[in-house]
Amino acid sequence: MSKILTIDIGTTACKVIVFDLQGNILAKSNREYPTYTPQIEWAEQDPNDWWSECVSGIKECLQQTDGSSIVAIGLSSQRETVVPLDKDGNILYRAISWMDRRSRLEAEQISQEFGKETIHKITGLIPDSTFTATKLLWFKKYEPDVLKKATVFLQPKEFIGYKLTGEAATDHSLASRTMMFDINKRQWWQDIFEFVGVKQNQFPKLCYADEIIGYLKDDVAKMLGLKSGIPVISGGGDRPLEAVGAGIIGSRVMESTGTATNVSMSSNKVPELLDPRVVCSCHVIRDYYLIEQGISTSGTILRWVRDNLYRGEKEKGENAYEIIDKEAENSSPGANGIVLLPFFMGSRATRWNPDARGVLFGLTLTHSRGDIARSVLEGISYEIRACIEILEGMGLKVENVVSMGGGAKSTVWSKIKADILGKKVIVEKVSEAASKGAMLLAAVAIGARESLIEEKREVLFEYMPNPNNQRVYDKVYEIYNELYNSVSSIYPKISKISS
């Protein structure tokens, strides 16, 4: 039986999965690594941690299933995170994460130099410290030797691909998250390179997500316990791969909540009415695009609640998330008057306010931690609604929402989303959608499949809006937006104090 091995370098962990060609999971490993925060708003990762956990994960999977029939390796990863390597492949600086906000000033400088509208029109992106170009400009100003010594700048799955094959390659989906790529011409945007201090030859070769970038090196194969020469397929960014794994086409919207939340739709063209608050990137599907909006902190806020309000349960070894769900469900719609603004690390789409901070509004002595937990689930859902309203304002038809990621495991949260969005929320039997997308791409690349689109999809749950709850949430949603507008002018003052 032929098998495909996938490697997903996520924000918090490396997932290694072995699939059969029908998409069934045969073996799985999930190994976490740290994010380093040497200063406020900084977030770095050590690529050696990625590789170490990748190696361990592959070996762990090979203990669960025979690796001799693995016919391809597919790649997936977080986006925008960048690591510079020298000519010998040595790491010159820890990878600066997509979460890192140190390059906010550099984002403003790029915006002033080229114009926000021009950048959006060419790259589909909005000047923000999330994207790679701003991090490179930061290197130019504060670590110029890194730019001089760097032979290549790689994003996470590209680094893994390089370690496996010795080849440095990127795909359109990751190239289009650098803010240095023309999504209409599908080529590098030359004008920005000199400004940020790099040359085009310092970037990996460009290929499609379903192309073979190289073959597993002999020494690496021996170390991993795999046969040498296995084709390694480029793959792409985790979000577009999730969209493939979730079958996001037509009027379906994907809401994927893990560390962060992504709201996206696919399109076979760049929309004519592209709202300036949304980003449009190249899809892993050839000649397609993914229209995206992102909430920087969502699952991370729930973890914060777990670690601070449910620490005792966690230390006892209890499933704190199950307790959070139960207590949140016992609270009432509207969280008994508590409203949360979920901007714990600034706001990306739809607000694009790097100074934004989290707000917990309406607290009284009568409130419980369950009310606070519910306000978190609701606050994130309100922002998802804001994202969907923008898509509809662009003339896109949104009929239902496919919920993905760890957030989809929560029944109470799925019900809250349906009530707040006023749309059917669907949870499908798609385990590990990004890895599934990488598997499908790899299967197409080696000729084992003809199409990336799966005709039959198994639905686990469907949640319809409750009209009574919906009426409550419509009123609170107005308060939510009014609250943001009321405090937005204060954010820069708080930002200066905490910086």
Instruction: Report the pLDDT value the prediction gives residue 250, as an integer from 0 to 100.
Output: 66
Quick one: average pLDDT of 110-136?
Answer: 95
| DSSP 8-state assignment for residue 268 | S
Q: What is the dihedral of CA 203, 205, 209, 211, to 10 degrees?
A: -160
Quick one: average pLDDT of 232-244?
Answer: 92
Quick one: average pLDDT of 183-203?
Answer: 94
What is the percent of the chain where pLDDT is above 90?
Answer: 75
Quick one: average pLDDT of 395-399?
Answer: 86
Model confidence at 243, pLDDT cuts 50, 70, 90, reads: confident
pLDDT in tens, 402-415: 998 889 889 999 99
Higher pLDDT, 338 or 492: 338
Cα distance between residue 138 and residue 39, in whole Å:
15
Quick one: average pLDDT of 471-490?
Answer: 97
CB 321 within 8 A of CB 257: no
Cα distance between residue 375 and residue 369, in whole Å:
10
φ, ψ for residue 386, nearest 5 deg: -60, -40
Quick one: average pLDDT of 97-124?
Answer: 95
Residue-level length of the chain: 499
Please determine, for residue 499, whether its predicted confidence score (pLDDT) is greater than 60. Answer: no
Min mean pLDDT across 118-132, 203-217, 390-404 is at 390-404
Q: Which residue has the tokens 């599907």?
A: 285
Q: What is the dihedral of CA 318, 324, 327, 333, to 10 degrees?
A: -170
From 288, 194, 189, select the one nearest 240 (Cα to Cα).
288
What is the percent of the chain where pLDDT is above 70?
Answer: 98
Q: How many helices (H) and strands (E) does the chain have?
A: 18, 23
Quick one: average pLDDT of 48-76?
Answer: 96
CB 325 within 8 A of CB 374: no
Contacts of 1 (CB under 8 A, 6+ apart): 20, 69
Instruction: Report the pLDDT value the prediction gives residue 433, as an integer from 0 to 100.
Output: 83
Quick one: average pLDDT of 477-496?
Answer: 91
CB 25 within 8 A of CB 17: yes
Please determine, for residue 319, whether its predicted confidence score (pLDDT) is greater than 70. Answer: yes
Q: Which two tokens stand for residue 383?
A: 């922002």
Question: In whole numbers, what is the pLDDT of the chain averaged over residues?
Answer: 93
pLDDT in tens, 424-470: 999 988 768 899 999 999 999 999 988 887 667 788 899 999 999 99
Please determine, for residue 495, whether its predicted confidence score (pLDDT) is greater than 80. Answer: no
- Strand pairing class (279-282; 289-295): antiparallel
Instruction: Report the pLDDT value the prediction gives residue 455, as an integer from 0 to 100.
Output: 62
φ, ψ for residue 329, nearest 5 deg: -65, -30
Cα distance between residue 244 and residue 8, in whole Å:
15
If one counts every other C-beta atom within 10 angstroms of the C-beta of residue 184, the result is 13
Higher pLDDT, 429 or 357: 357
Contacts of 105 (CB under 8 A, 6+ apart): none
Q: The whole model's pTM is what?
A: 0.82
For 308-349, give the DSSP string: HHSHHHHHTT--HHHHHHHHHHHSPTTGGG-EEE--BTBB-T
Q: Which two tokens stand for residue 492?
A: 């820069």
Cα distance between residue 231 and residue 165, in whole Å:
9
If one counts every other C-beta atom within 10 angstroms of the C-beta of residue 3, the result is 21
Model confidence at 348, pLDDT cuts 50, 70, 90, reads: confident
Query: Would you report the helix, strand and coil content of the chain in percent, each value rounded to 5?
Result: 40, 25, 35
Model confidence at 204, pLDDT cuts 50, 70, 90, reads: very high
Instruction: Report the pLDDT value the prediction gives residue 289, as an integer from 0 to 100.
Output: 92
Cα distance between residue 187 and residue 164, in whole Å:
26
